[in-house]
């Protein structure tokens, strides 16, 4: 009975999937490489639900706010925190690469590098300027934003719809009820999809080990070590201090979100866990409106794992090619990374695309230098996604506390419990909606009773 209860935990199932994937990839590399569709299929299966869930969550959150004037300041504080954390991530990445010197002594001639590797990713680069990035937030059509699956255009539509619902009042109640009911439906479906997460983790890990293997790391192992050291330092020091300043333990936060962390670690993508993060952050006491604004925005503006990677990879290429960068050039590069890191989505390989975008605007460094690390990029994508995910969780708690939209008693109780079964996430969503509807009906009855009394 005890073993059955342990196996019922999602993170245990994911760990088993990861272990089996490593075993299959190591013993039968060809078979492991062929299992890639399992991991890709799981990510794709979950990704198509992200846009509608983000829309429904934000609309519901805005309409639940008693003061919609707080939305602007909440977003500004969130963006300020995101850029501060990104700057810290860039600095730690720079410190790590300076300390370990992973590219020193390689003496690579840039002319001998394969430029075709970078060319394959150059076509994926968008929004190279701030103006282009801002214009990309505006969807071509209302439905097109959902079809493309881009979070930020959906976020814009959701904000507009949320504000519109607050103006409609009783006239928009029917439409709002439809949105809330659809939101419940989405989370129930998502609960079903999470049951196949171990299979996705198995396929993704089998592919990684089978395709690349330990032999592909070679002398680049020091770069991986430097990267993981920088990510761990950012999480433990940077996020640990931020969590402590806001009255929570980083360890308790990580323990509470362990299911999501293991899924991100196995799939190298943060997107499959976005819907569960929205529900669980609300469950631990964060206001729904704050969660709906901060987390989806953080998925495009708070990619600290990518920021660490960009600094390390760029400086590694400079060291390997014996290119000396002055501090003025390094500071210029870091400034560009504050922009290019924001264009990377939370999916596998997006960090590599952001690296190509960074090198494309830095004439000092050869874009073809990415050929040096393309073979080990997959080994670093897990840490990129994982660092960014933990950062978004802690950031949401911090912003909620700053906005006085955090129930600290619920937070302490939930984090102390440390376990949330997968069914509870969907159930809590339904229960919170039911309670909200009950309160609204009670309020309406009071107002209805007050009208005849006033008439007399």
pLDDT of residue 115: 53
Q: What is the dihedral of CA 286, 288, 289, 291, to 10 degrees?
A: 60
Query: 28-54 burial, b if ≥16 CB within 10 A, otherwise e?
Result: ebeebbebbebbbebbeebbebbbbbb
Question: Which residue range(s) make up the domain with 279?
Answer: 2-455
pLDDT of residue 18: 79
* pLDDT tens by residue, 267-314: 777 878 888 898 899 999 998 888 888 888 888 788 898 889 989 988
Which residues are registered as beta bridge partners of 103? none
Q: Are the C-beta atoms of 197 and 42 separated by less than 8 Å?
A: yes
| Number of other residues whose CB lies within 10 A of the CB of residue 149 | 17
Query: What is the three-class DSSP state of 286?
Result: strand
pLDDT of residue 172: 76
> What is the domain count for the chain?
1
Is pLDDT above 80 for 443? no
Residue, of 337 and 216, whose pLDDT is higher: 337
Closest CA to 352 of 326, 329, 373: 373
CA distance 297 to 151: 8
* pLDDT tens by residue, 168-209: 877 778 888 888 888 788 878 877 887 888 888 888 778 867
* pLDDT tens by residue, 361-415: 676 788 777 777 766 777 788 888 899 999 999 999 999 999 888 999 999 999 9
Is pLDDT above 80 for 346? no
Is pLDDT above 70 for 425? no
Model confidence band, residue 449 (pLDDT cutoffs 50, 70, 90): very low
pLDDT of residue 435: 47
How many residues are given for the chain?
456
Query: What is the three-class DSSP state of 65?
Result: coil
Rounded mean pLDDT, 86-98: 92
pLDDT of residue 456: 35
Is pLDDT above 50 for 447? no
Distance of CA 264 to the CA centre of its chain: 9
pLDDT of residue 439: 46
Q: What are phi and psi of 286, to 5 degrees?
A: -80, 140
Mean pLDDT, the chain, as a whole number?
A: 77
In the chain, count H helices and then E strands. 24, 0
Residue, of 316 and 50, whose pLDDT is higher: 316
Is pLDDT above 50 for 454? no
Run of H or E residues at 445:
helix 422-455
CA distance 393 to 282: 11
Is pLDDT above 60 for 73? yes
For residue 17, what are its two tokens? 């999937």
For residue 221, give the CATH number of its domain.
Answer: 1.10.3860.10
Rounded mean pLDDT, 43-70: 73
pLDDT of residue 228: 92
Q: What are phi and psi of 349, to 5 degrees?
A: 90, -15
pLDDT of residue 94: 92
* pLDDT tens by residue, 226-259: 999 999 999 999 999 999 999 899 999 999 999 8
Percent of the chain with pLDDT over 70: 75
Run of H or E residues at 327:
helix 327-340
CA distance 151 to 55: 9
């Amino acid at each position: 009975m005890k073993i059955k209860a342990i196996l019922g935990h999602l993170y245990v199932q994911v760990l088993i999937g990861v272990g089996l994937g490593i075993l299959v990839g190591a013993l039968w590399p060809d078979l492991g490489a062929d299992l890639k569709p399992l991991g890709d299929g799981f990510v794709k299966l979950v990704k198509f639900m992200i846009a509608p869930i983000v829309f429904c969550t934000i609309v519901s959150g805005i309409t639940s706010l008693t003061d919609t004037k707080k939305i602007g300041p909440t977003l500004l504080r969130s963006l300020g925190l995101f850029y501060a954390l990104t700057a810290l991530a860039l600095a730690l990445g720079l410190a790590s690469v300076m300390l370990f010197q992973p590219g020193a002594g390689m003496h690579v001639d840039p002319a001998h590098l394969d430029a075709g590797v970078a060319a394959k990713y150059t076509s994926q680069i968008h929004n190279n300027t701030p103006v282009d990035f801002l214009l990309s937030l505006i969807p071509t059509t209302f439905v097109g934003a959902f079809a493309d699956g881009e979070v930020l255009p959906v976020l814009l539509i959701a904000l507009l719809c949320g504000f519109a619902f607050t103006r409609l009042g009783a006239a928009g109640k029917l439409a709002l009820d439809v949105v809330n009911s659809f939101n419940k439906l989405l989370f129930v479906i998502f609960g079903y999809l999470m049951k196949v997460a171990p299979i996705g983790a198995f396929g993704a890990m089998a592919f990684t080990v089978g395709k690349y293997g330990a032999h592909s790391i070679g002398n680049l192992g020091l770069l991986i070590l430097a990267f993981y050291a920088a990510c761990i330092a950012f999480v433990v020091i940077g996020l640990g201090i931020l969590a402590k300043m806001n009255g929570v333990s980083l360890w308790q936060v990580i323990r509470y979100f362990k299911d999501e962390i293991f899924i991100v670690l196995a799939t190298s993508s943060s997107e499959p866990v976005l819907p569960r993060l929205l529900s669980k952050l609300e469950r631990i006491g964060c206001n729904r409106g704050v969660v709906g604004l901060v987390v989806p925005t953080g998925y495009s503006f708070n990619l600290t794992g990518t920021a660490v990677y960009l600094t390390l990879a760029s400086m590694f290429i400079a060291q390997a090619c014996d290119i000396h960068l002055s501090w003025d050039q390094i500071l210029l590069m870091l400034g560009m990374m504050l922009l290019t890191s924001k264009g990377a989505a939370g999916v596998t390989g997006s960090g590599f695309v952001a690296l190509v975008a960074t090198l494309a605007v830095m004439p000092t460094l050869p874009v073809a230098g990415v050929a040096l690390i393309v073979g080990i990029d997959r080994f670093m994508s897990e840490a990129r996604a994982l660092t960014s995910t933990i950062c978004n969780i802690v950031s949401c708690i911090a912003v909620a506390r700053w906005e006085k939209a955090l129930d600290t008693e619920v937070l302490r109780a939930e984090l102390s419990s440390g376990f949330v079964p997968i069914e509870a996430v969907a159930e809590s969503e339904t229960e919170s909606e039911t309670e909200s509807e009950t309160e609204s009906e009670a309020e309406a009855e009071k107002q209805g009773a007050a009208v005849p009394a006033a008439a007399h």
